[in-house]
Amino acid sequence: MSSHLSAPPEQPVSSVTPLFPLHTVRCDGPAVFRNQLARDIGCLLDVDDDVISWTCGTVELVMDGVTHVPDLVAESQSGIVLIDAVTKAGPSAMITEMAGAAGYQYRPLSRPELPAIRLRNAKDLLRYARYRVTLDDRIRVLAALDECGTMTLTECLSGFRTTQPLPAFASMVLQRFIAIDLDEALIGPETTVRRFRG
């Protein structure tokens, strides 16, 4: 049994077409995905407060002549989880055994298991993953939140004066300066904004 870096012989390393959104926040290394489901799981990892970083296909599991490379590897405070985007039949018990023997947790995920509202919000935010907020805007918004406790998104946007408000807001959420509820509803004018408290 071994666990090392490699590409799976039985599946393509990445899609030949771009999978959207193109940018990531916490992916450590090349962001190459086998399919859109794997990309969508990556979106959810980027907005998961417990995730420190994640990678694509960087762990190879080998047991009894069988090789498997999970789609994603997520590192959190509680350990490392290997994740597979399951599009057809469920994963074999052997993959779970292989991961456990290598010291990893294993989690297969199918499309119905993904939280739809959270995924939509994550994709909306990740459009601005490469956007940077100016120091004065960041300090202004954080100071206002310190004073008020919470603000609506509309109120928060008024604090951005030197950067474009919506991209700046999204960037601050992704960079964990501010926090919003991604599960309750789609991001809108009344969305409650607060300081991120990790």
The answer as to whether 101 is a domain residue is yes
> Among candidates 56, 105, 108, which has minimal Cα distance to 77?
105
The answer as to whether 129 is a domain residue is yes
Residue 153's pLDDT band (cuts 50, 70, 90): very high
The answer as to whether 95 is a domain residue is yes
104 and 91 assigned to the same domain: yes
Overall number of domains in the chain: 2
Domain that holds residue 178: 117-195
29 and 125 assigned to the same domain: no
Average pLDDT, the chain: 91
Integer Cα distance of 85 and 70 in angstroms: 8
Residue 150 has pLDDT above 50, yes or no: yes
Q: Which of 90, 114, 138 is the last residue of a domain?
A: 114
Give me 151's structure tokens. Answer: 């603000």
Residue 161's pLDDT band (cuts 50, 70, 90): very high
Residue 89's pLDDT band (cuts 50, 70, 90): confident
Taking residues 82-109, report their average pLDDT: 91
15 and 102 assigned to the same domain: yes
> What 8-state DSSP symbol labels residue 104?
-
- The CA–CA distances, whole Å, from 56 to 28, 67, 82, 95, 177 equal 8, 16, 10, 17, 26
180 and 154 assigned to the same domain: yes
Domain CATH number, residue 165 = 1.10.10
The answer as to whether 2 is a domain residue is no
Domain CATH number, residue 31 = 3.40.1350
Integer Cα distance of 143 and 34 in angstroms: 42
Residue 97 has pLDDT above 80, yes or no: yes
15 and 107 assigned to the same domain: yes
Q: Which of 114, 142, 161 is the last residue of a domain?
A: 114
Give me 6's structure tokens. Answer: 């490699």
Q: Which of 99, 114, 129 is the last residue of a domain?
A: 114
Integer Cα distance of 45 and 25 in angstroms: 9
